[in-house]
Chains A and B, each alone.
Chain A
Amino acid sequence: MKTLTRISTVLLAAGAFACTFAAHADQLADIKAKGVLVCGVMPSVEPMGFMDPGKGEVVGYDIDFCKAVAKSLGVKIELKVVSSEARIPELLEKRVDILAAILGYTAARAEQIDYSQAYFVSNQILAVKKGSDIKVRDDVAGKRVSTMKGSSNLVLMHREIPTAQMVSYDDAPSAFIAMAQGKVNAFVLSEVMLRRFAAKLGDGNSIEILKPAVGVEYWGLGIRKGEPELLRAVNDALSSLEKTGEAQKIFDTWLGPNTLYKMTRDFKVAPIKH
């Protein structure tokens, strides 16, 4: 495979990617000099990041955290919408400084980028159609389970229930319909998504939650490797958001008791355990 490596290295060196090789000063200093923090966000997952049709801009939990970090660095924020496939290249090619894009921590992923402290902890839950003969979590062994692309549920499921056959769809609604139509036996998703579906479906909602949860996913902000100054500054900013109660406020705005999610915050900003 040496040839393959050589060919592709040549290809990339020839392209715009070459700039990655260039030496540069500390990124935190660059950001402060520019006065702008460019933050990559995903526009497709309500309420974490989504288009507000009234304002015509992306808003949400992730966005508020990025804004708060920019504020504590003393710079302006510039939001850049990224897709789930493009988010890592955007970061590595320096088109964004930081990612607030539903980055669930896994050890393999952390070899490519650095994670900040966790600013969100997501419970990943299995759900089935009401009346299904699957009653508890481990009943899904050997069954077909849907999920959405771009999540770390595959890794989680592989660890917890390795015999489940995973089918991933482009987005959460497709994964949900596949379950509703009986194409898969169960659906694994975050508690936030599940509450959203339940609220949208109303009282007669036809989904049942399997206990216990499959596991938890720790979300961090993504930063390029080799930027210890920036990582430290971002982690300090997150810690102070926790201390001042700002983190709690952001949570309550998007997910709290007065929203359709009616969630209470059972975690604090904390380093992700490796």
Chain B
Amino acid sequence: MNSVLNFDALLAPPLFSQLLHGAQFTLMLFVACWILAVSLGILLAVLRISGWPFSERLVAIYVAYHQNVPMLAHLFLWYFGISTLLPAGLQDWTSNHGGEFIFATIAIGLYMAAYFSEDIRSGLRSVPGGQTEAARSLGMGFLASMRYVVLPQAINNAIPTFTNHTIVLFKNTSLAMALGAAEMTYAVREVENETFLTFETYIVATVFYLAISLILMAVGAAAARRVRLPAH
């Protein structure tokens, strides 16, 4: 009978290494997307508060576009659409060097950058203008007032949403499966399809995603504690 779960096959070499590769791919994809999303997010946030109307407008459009089009659409657009505009030689090169990873990183990274830039901006905006004015009147320059007065408070306020979006990013890497990227969900579905051990494989996936998400939450909480200001 099938009523008893059986993990033996999943934990034996061929299937287990398939799952392990999936887990590895997911973690690599997560790190690559996160680095791209955070660096671009910082850049966008700076442009947004720079005071140039043109760049502010441009960032606003960028953010609106990415927040209002589903991520799966972005993934397909990059992988099946924009990739074909590249020169033929470059297209071949990406196909032979993990095009799935590259385009998934770009699509997810650009998408999540919109969210991260908003997190950073809302953090900066949460610091009342009087704080800057007070710092400046004490004789601090722009950089010093940012470094000692504005940023510590801004980061403190931005960390919770930043952590949330980091977890969202992590879970969204599973959508890269649609491009044939061999990440965890892809591996799980492949193993399920080979063995029909549906419950067992999805339990493995659930435990994996839950464990990593909880770790990310813990890291976020630790970071929040580290930067907490005595006044808060």
Q: Known: A89-B199, A167-B180. Is A20-B193 also a contact (CB below 8 A)?
A: no
Is A12 in contact with B7, judged by CB distance below 8 angstroms? no
Does A117 lie at the interface of the complex (its beta carbon under 8 Å from any beta carbon of B)?
no
Is B115 engaged at the interface, CB distance under 8 Å to the other chain?
A: no
Q: Contacts A4-B7, A8-B203, A167-B180: A144 and B95 contacting too (C-beta < 8 A)?
A: yes
Q: Is B54 located at the chain interface by the 8 A CB criterion?
A: no
B100 on the A face (CB < 8 A): yes
Partner of B100, one of A167, A170, A182, A224: A167
Contact yes or no, B180 A88, CB < 8 A: no
Residues of A near B132 (CB, < 8 A) are: none
Q: Which residues of B contact A168 (CB under 8 A)?
A: 180, 186, 190
Interface-central residue, A4, A9, A17, by most chain B CB under 10 Å: A4
Cβ < 8 Å to B, chain A residues 167-186? 167-170, 174, 177-178, 181-184
Interface residue stretch chosen among A35-43, A70-78, A124-132, A146-154: A146-154
Chain A residues near B84: list those with CB within 8 A: 181
Q: A1-B7, A182-B92 are in contact. Are A108 and B2 (CB under 8 A)?
A: no
Interface residues of chain A: helix, strand, loop or mixed (majority): mixed
Asked if B178 is at the interface of the complex by the 8 Å CB criterion, the answer is: yes
Q: Contact string, B79-104, partner A, CB cutoff 8 A, digits 1/0?
A: 01001100000011001100110000
Is B164 in contact with chain A by the CB < 8 A criterion? no
How far, in whole Å, are A26 and B99 apart by their CA atoms in the complex? 52
Contact among A9, A11, A108 for B196, CB-based, below 8 A: A108
Interface of chain B: mostly helix, strand, loop or mixed: helix
Contact with A along B195-213 (1 / 0, CB 8 A): 1111110010001000000
Q: A146, B3: Cβ atoms under 8 Å?
A: no
The answer for the CA separation of A149 and B189 in the assembled complex, in Å, is 8
B56 contacts partner chain A, Cβ-Cβ < 8 Å: no
Q: Say whether B180 contacts A146, CB under 8 Å.
A: yes
With a cutoff of 8 Å between Cβ atoms, the chain B residues found around residue A1 in the complex are: 7, 11
Residue count of chain A within 8 Å CB distance of chain B = 43
How many angstroms between the C-alpha atoms of A182 and B5 in the bound complex? 42
Tally of chain B residues near chain A (CB < 8 A): 36
Interface 0/1 of B176-199, CB less than 8 Å to A: 011110100010011011111111
* Partner of A9 from B1, B5, B100, B194 at Cβ < 8 Å: B5
Is B4 at the interface (CB under 8 A from chain A)? yes
Nearest chain-A residue to B177 (Cβ)? A170
Please tell me if the beta carbons of B1 and A88 are within 8 angstroms of each other in the complex: no
- A149 lies within 8 A of B95 (CB): no
Query: Do A5 and B7 have beta carbons less than 8 Å apart?
Result: yes
A4 and B197 within 8 A (CB): no
Contacts of B100 in A (CB 8 A): 167
- Is A226 part of the contact surface with B, judged by Cβ < 8 Å? yes
* Contact present for A85 and B192 (CB under 8 Å): yes
Q: Is the CB of A88 within 8 A of B198?
A: yes
Q: Can you name the residue of chain B whose Cβ is closest to the Cβ of A144?
A: B95
Residues of A within 8 Å of B4, CB to CB, are 9
In the bound complex, residues from chain B placing their C-beta under 8 Å from that of A181 are 80, 83-84, 91
Q: Using known A-B contacts A1-B11, A154-B194, A169-B180, determine if residue A226 contacts B95 with beta carbons closer than 8 Å.
A: no
Do A85 and B178 have beta carbons less than 8 Å apart? no
Q: Is A113 an interface residue (CB 8 A)?
A: yes
The 4 residue pairs across chains A and B that have the minimum distance between CB atoms? A112-B196, A167-B180, A88-B198, A20-B3
- A-to-B contact residues, CB < 8 Å: 1, 4-5, 8-9, 11-12, 17, 20-21, 84-85, 88-89, 92, 106, 108-109, 111-113, 144, 146, 149-152, 154-155, 167-170, 174, 177-178, 181-184, 224-226
A5-B5, A88-B192, A146-B180 given; 10 more Cβ-contact pairs under 8 Å = A8-B5, A8-B200, A9-B5, A108-B195, A112-B195, A144-B95, A144-B96, A178-B180, A225-B1, A225-B2
7 contacts across the A-B interface (CB closer than 8 A): A12-B5, A89-B198, A106-B194, A108-B9, A144-B95, A181-B91, A225-B2
Q: Which residues of B contact A (CB under 8 A)?
A: 1-5, 7, 9, 11, 80, 83-84, 91-92, 95-96, 99-100, 177-180, 182, 186, 189-190, 192-200, 203, 207
